[in-house]
Amino acid sequence: MTALDNPPTKNVGVTRLRKEDAHLVTGRTNYTDSIQVTGLLHLAFVRSPMAHAKVARVDVSAALEQPGVVAAFTGADLADNWAAGLPCAWPVTEDMASPTHLPIATDEVRYVGDAVAVVVARTKYQAADAIEFVEVDYEPLPAVVDMEAALAEGSPLADTTSASNKSFTWQKIDGEIDDAFAGAAHVTTRRFLQQRLIPTAIEPRSVVCAPPREHNEYTLWSATQVPHILRLMLALTCGVPEHELRVIAPDVGGGFGSKLNVYAEEAVALVLARKLGKPVKWTETRSEGNQATIHGRDQIQDLSIAFNEDHTIRGLKVELHADMGAYLQLVTPGVPILGAFMFNAIYKMDALSFTCHGVFTNKTPTDAYRGAGRPEATYAIERLMDEAAHELGVEPFELREKNWIKHEEFPYMTIAGIEYDSGNYEAATAKAKELFDYDGLRAEQQRRRDAGDSVQLGLGISTFTEMCGLAPSRVLGSLSYGAGGWEHASVRMLPSGKVEVVTGTSPHGQGHVTSWSQIAADALGVAYEDVEVRHGDTSVAHKGMDTYGSRSLVVGGYAVQVACDKVIAKARKVAAHLLEASEDDIEFDSGTFSVKGSPDARTTIQDISLAVFAAHDYPEDMEPSLDSDATVDPENFSYPHGTHLCAVEVDTETGHVEILRYVAVDDIGKVINPQIVEGQVHGGLAQGIAQALYEEAIYDEDGQLKTGSLLDYYVPGAPDLPHFITDRTETPATSNPLGVKGVGEAGTIASTPAVINAVVDALRPMGVNDIRMPASPQNVWNAMQAAKANGGDA
Amino acid sequence: MTRVQITVDGEQTEQEVEARLLLVHYLRDVLGKTGTNVGCDTSNCGACTVHLDGRSVKSCTVLAVQADGSEVATVEGLAERPDDESGWHPLQKAFHTEHGLQCGYCTPGMIMAAADLLSENPDPDEHEVRHGLEGNLCRCTGYVNIVKAVQTAAAEMRGDKVEVDA
Ligand code: FES
Ligand code: FES
């Protein structure tokens, strides 16, 4: 399959202002916490203040006496309600350890925030008051906090029922890795730390569940990215037949992976709606969310890279310790594993070994956070390339260029065994350098170095690629993931000629309604305004794999295109019948069907819709319907890439870092809506820069979360971030007919290493070779002091 | 319980409330005006920003009883005609045209904070917009298009000729 060179474009490729905005800018929204159901009761959870303890006693009797309280349950009270523990859908190895994860703990709590009881009251204030009256006796157990200590002989256990703190070791070796290192002219070895992050979608998580009323089904509204996955998994967890559960994701206020999960509170809401026969609601407070919503990243990365004399790469060894937290959530173990395909990045090499140890600790579980495994990998390899360039005494660009896949080498089978279909790293890099004024800034850097300026300039580079469009189902199968990666769309042609597109993707800010309208409008030859897109309700969009992993456009948009093509194929038959011509002679252009050679013989898609609705006269060998479904399974991932350049000023007297200029040139293939694409890149950059400079979830040695609210977990505001200069180069993807590659994660992936490379570059003359993220004034200061103590650079 | 009288988006409201009830919960839960959002419990995010007697406040930091006798303006009352784009406030139009929102959760607070900023400073430069909105977090947009939107709206409100690309 190849992308069309010149698709008949009217909407695709141009900015259409978003259809989503009208209700959002005027406050006529429908986020989950705004949903009202008659007789609604409110839930509040009692959570462990200890990282690890035996739960000796939980007594809810005093809470039951409180005003407005309707019911209260301990973990033991609800233990019989679970058909299974909360799911992990990605058993990465056969022997992977995964502690049973009950939505409410019974006898052992394993992280600060683990729930031990739930109170149901008439108002949320009453519920919040009443949890203070639940008495819990905890018997403290040693907390496991440090991953390496956790694996040492004799370490206390994060879960006293398990044999060790290791969940799994996953390994993949490609090529002759020992030979690659044995014969190397130069080897660079480094350890990098990926700090733990808290995703912090601005809408807190929220769930409402109503018991059956007019239909024999539970209705569950959730601030989720994955209504379809949630429906199936909650059905299995709570023992509710899948067809008796309807899940709706109404307006959802951002996710970034944190709403790609099956959470305890969702399961409890469903079980209590069943038990009480009443609708229930729970909305997390932000501080509660910092404990009870998944965290991201948290890896120790040990890398060695081996070079030949001519600076070409021979091989790369990667060993990861990945902090799972206390339990495996939906895809916890799979996140670091995605790195197995990405550490080699855009570079050619003969051997790659990847080993990942999944480790349990007494902390909030980790899971997918924007980029999921790919930012971590990109950070490490792009930092490593800079360090290697420094050791080899060459310009960082020179080393990258020497080793990256040349544009004429695509499609390229990488050492990790996946085929990059298209790309042009040279073009993106050339454009980025020009926009950035790379040479000018290097000159300015030299000037400041020579002058001994207290504010030094650093230039950081990150090239990158990522695997998007999750995912070819057979690849997911080979990685032991519990489901496929297809996507579904339906196109319904209404009698009036208007169109409903139903998608299995579930947007929460990405603008699918707009982009899918653009795709359908062009494919069907109807007006953009005549298309409505429906999503996020399992009774409307009955099939779907939802939204994560930059998959929505690449797989979901592809499904919309294929469903539209099927509509046109049917309409062509009807057109031939009505125009009394052979189907082969029917031409279709911009909504009009005409007969080759007789320009007057023509009809429109709208007329055909009406004719098929009336069904008075249609071809014998078809049903009277144009409606079409498509379920597409991509044959390959898509591989966006880009070159990002960052200039920072580092105040060597205070350690303060300021971004002076940021240029992002991304190749995401064909573009449906340039404005939406730019917005996605901006948001991604902000989150990647936030990891580099501002954010870290910190636990103390007792497993207490020190960054438990937005007061101490620093999410950057407008003054903390720079203006971004963004541009694109374009090599279409070949794995889908739209030629698109996905854009949701690109900015996040490239920006973290670009910023840190810049900070290190600024301080390199002082002997600084690494900075612990985030590069806060304190961490920068510490790095400068450590370098000084080591006597500066060699 | 205390009786409060609060004018919200031009409408007189009168209710018995608990003394501890937050203004944002008065708006959302008592009046059903759910256009104003809640994003935190430490007054850091600004999602709940409304105007109290003409100045922007975080409505999670104000008690309903403190607003007794006051006028509250929320995003819901900002447009002359919310259902028709031509009746939107210049900030609402500009957030739309400049793509200053993605998920939209921060948007009501962001727009109300920006309205207050523009009433103080009708022609802010980028730096002034960024600092003026420092109490409002957005996790989706990276702020660049929010800055653009505020400046575009400012130009329209000053009566400058506005060129809207896209
Ligand atoms: S809700 Fe966050 S500041 Fe008010
Ligand atoms: S648009 Fe989502 S938080 Fe601002």
The two most distant CA atoms of chain B are separated, in Å, by: 53
Q: What digits encode the pLDDT tens for the residues A376-390?
A: 999 999 999 999 999
Query: Which chain A residues in 367-426 lie under 8 Å from chain B, judged by CB atoms?
Result: none
Q: Dihedral of the CA atoms A76, A80, A86, A92 (nearest 10)?
A: 110
Helix (H) or strand (E) holding A151: helix A147-151
Partner-chain contact B103 A511, CB within 8 Å: no
Q: What percent of chain A has pLDDT over 70?
A: 98
Q: Which residue has the tokens 């060993």?
A: A319
CA distance B69 to chain A (A): 24
Cα R_g (chain B), whole angstroms: 16
CA A477 to CA A454: how far, in whole Å?
55
H helices present in A59-123, as ranges: 61-64, 75-78
Instruction: Give the residue among A740, A734, A727 at the shortest CA–CA distance from A668.
Output: A740
3-class DSSP assignment, residue B140:
coil
Contacts A201 to B, Cβ<8 Å: 103, 105, 139
CA A590 to CA A523: how far, in whole Å?
8
CA distance A699 to chain B (A): 20
Residue A549, pLDDT score: 83
Instruction: Give the residue among A102, A100, A104 at the shortest CA–CA distance from A47.
Output: A104
CA distance A719 to chain B (A): 5
A485 Cβ partners below 8 Å, 6+ apart?
A: A470, A471, A472, A473, A475, A476, A545, A551, A555, A633, A634
Least confident of A13-22, A190-199, A741-750: A741-750
3-state helix, strand, coil in chain B (%, to 5): 35, 15, 45
Contacts A253 to B, Cβ<8 Å: 37, 103-105
Residue B166 has pLDDT above 90, yes or no: no
Partner-chain contact A25 B96, CB within 8 Å: yes
Instruction: Give the residue among A505, A775, A537, A787 at the shortest CA–CA distance from A659.
Output: A775
Residue A82, pLDDT score: 97
CA B68 to CA B4: how far, in whole Å?
5
For the record, the structure tokens of A239 come out as 């023992």
C-alpha B49 to ligand 2 mean position (Å): 14
Cβ(A656)–Cβ(A650) under 8 Å?
yes
> Is residue A615 in contact with ligand 2, taking CB distance under 6 Å?
no
Partner-chain contact B39 A719, CB within 8 Å: no
**ipTM confidence score:** 0.96
Among B33, B92, B102, B133, the strongest candidate for a mutation testing the A interface, having the largest count of A CBs within 10 A, is B102
Contacts by residues B17-22 (CB-CB < 8 Å, ≥ 24 positions apart): B17/B64, B17/B65, B18/A125, B19/B63, B19/B65, B20/A125, B20/B63, B21/A125, B21/B63, B21/B64, B21/B65, B22/B59, B22/B60, B22/B61, B22/B62, B22/B63, B22/B64
Partner-chain contact A20 B104, CB within 8 Å: yes
For the record, the structure tokens of A365 come out as 């579980």
Q: In what order do the strands lie in the sheet with A135-140?
A: A108-109, A53-59, A135-140
B150: left (phi over 0), alpha (psi -120 to 50) or beta: alpha
* Average pLDDT for A329-334: 97
Residue A621 has pLDDT above 60, yes or no: yes
The C-alpha angle B102, B104, B105, rounded to 5 degrees, equals 130
What distances in angstroms separate CA B111 from CA A29, A211, B105, B116, one per listed residue?
A: 15, 37, 11, 9
Q: Is the peptide bond before A774 cis (omega within 30 degrees of 0)?
A: yes
- In this structure, what are the phi and psi dihedrals at residue A487, rounded to the nearest 5 degrees? -145, 155
pLDDT band at A127 (very low <50, low <70, confident <90, very high): very high
Q: What is the DSSP string of A209-244?
A: EE--SSSSSEEEEES-S-HHHHHHHHHHHHT--GGG
Residue A1, pLDDT score: 35
Q: Which residue has the tokens 């999670």?
A: B60
E-strand stretches of A125-217 = 135-140, 166-174, 186-197, 206-210
Residue B165, pLDDT score: 47
Residue B163, pLDDT score: 54
The C-alpha angle A294, A199, A745, rounded to 5 degrees, equals 115
Q: In chain B, what are the domains?
A: 2-77 (3.10.20.30), 85-158 (1.10.150.120)
Partner-chain contact A27 B74, CB within 8 Å: yes
Chain centre to alpha carbon of residue A321: 20
CA A496 to CA A740: how far, in whole Å?
31
Q: Which residue has the tokens 């917009």?
A: B129
A599 Cβ partners below 8 Å, 6+ apart?
A: none
Query: How far separated are the first and last CA of chain A, in Å rounded?
Result: 54
Cβ(A359)–Cβ(A162) under 8 Å?
no
CA A274 to CA A387: how far, in whole Å?
58
3-class DSSP assignment, residue A486:
coil
Contacts A509 to B, Cβ<8 Å: 102-104, 140
For the record, the structure tokens of A141 come out as 């157990």
Q: What digits encode the pLDDT tens for the residues A389-407?
A: 999 999 999 999 999 999 9
Q: Dihedral of the CA atoms A496, A502, A507, A512 (nearest 10)?
A: -50
CA A265 to CA A44: how far, in whole Å?
10
Of the candidates A15, A252, A683, the beta carbon closest to that of B141 is on A683
Partner-chain contact B137 A715, CB within 8 Å: yes
Q: Which residue has the tokens 């819901």?
A: B76
For the record, the structure tokens of A114 come out as 């683990």
Q: Which residue has the tokens 């990158």?
A: A464
Q: What digits encode the pLDDT tens for the residues A305-327?
A: 999 999 999 999 999 999 999 99
Cβ(A595)–Cβ(A579) under 8 Å?
yes
Cβ(A415)–Cβ(A349) under 8 Å?
yes
Residue A177 has pLDDT above 70, yes or no: yes
For the record, the structure tokens of A471 come out as 């995912």
pLDDT band at A247 (very low <50, low <70, confident <90, very high): very high
CA distance B160 to chain A (A): 22
Residue A228 has pLDDT above 80, yes or no: yes
- Lining ligand 1 with CB less than 6 A are B 38-40, 43-48, 58, 60
CA A112 to CA A697: how far, in whole Å?
13
Q: What digits encode the pLDDT tens for the residues B105-148?
A: 999 999 999 999 999 999 999 999 999 999 999 999 999 999 99
Least confident of A546-550, A572-576, A730-734: A546-550
CA A206 to CA A193: how far, in whole Å?
32
CATH topology of domain A21-28+486-632: Aldehyde Oxidoreductase; domain 4 (3.30.365)
Cross-strand pairs, A53: A109, A140
CA A131 to CA A117: how far, in whole Å?
8
What distances in angstroms separate CA A234 from CA A55, A267, A368, A646, B103, one per listed residue?
A: 26, 6, 19, 44, 25
CA dihedral sign, ordered A326, A331, A337, A342 = negative
Helix (H) or strand (E) holding A752: helix A746-763
Which ligand has the minimum distance to the alpha carbon of residue B22? 1
Cα R_g (chain A), whole angstroms: 28
Q: Search chain B and give the residue with CA nearest A40.
A: B29
Q: Which CATH class is domain A405-467+638-794?
A: alpha beta
B73 Cβ partners below 8 Å, 6+ apart?
A: B8, B9, B50, B51, B54, B112
Query: Which chain A residues in 248-277 lie under 8 Å from chain B, judged by CB atoms?
Result: 251-254, 256
Greater pLDDT, B105 or A1:
B105
Helix (H) or strand (E) holding A682: helix A674-693
Question: Comparing A21-28+486-632 with A405-467+638-794, is the CATH topology the same?
Answer: yes
E-strand stretches of B18-141 = 49-52, 55-58, 71-73
Q: What digits encode the pLDDT tens for the residues A560-575?
A: 999 999 999 999 999 9
- In this structure, what are the phi and psi dihedrals at residue A115, rounded to the nearest 5 degrees? -80, 140
Q: What digits encode the pLDDT tens for the residues A670-713?
A: 999 999 999 999 999 999 999 999 999 999 999 999 999 999 99
CA A695 to CA A687: how far, in whole Å?
9
Length of chain B (residues): 166
Q: What digits encode the pLDDT tens for the residues A333-347?
A: 999 999 999 999 999
Contacts A508 to B, Cβ<8 Å: 103
Least confident of A251-260, B13-22, B98-107, B153-162: B153-162
Partner-chain contact B105 A27, CB within 8 Å: no
A485: left (phi over 0), alpha (psi -120 to 50) or beta: alpha
Q: What is the DSSP string of A414-456?
A: -TTS-EE----HHHHHHHHHHHHTHHHHHHHHHHHHHHT-SEE
Q: Structural domain boundaries of chain A?
A: 21-28+486-632, 405-467+638-794
Residue A77 has pLDDT above 50, yes or no: yes
Considering chain A, what is the average pLDDT of its residues? 95
Residue A792 has pLDDT above 70, yes or no: no
Cross-strand pairs, A108: A54
Query: How far separated are the first and last CA of chain B, in Å rounded?
Result: 52
pLDDT band at B161 (very low <50, low <70, confident <90, very high): low
Q: What percent of chain A has pLDDT over 90?
A: 94
A490 Cβ partners below 8 Å, 6+ apart?
A: A500, A501, A502, A541, A563, A627, A628, A629, A630
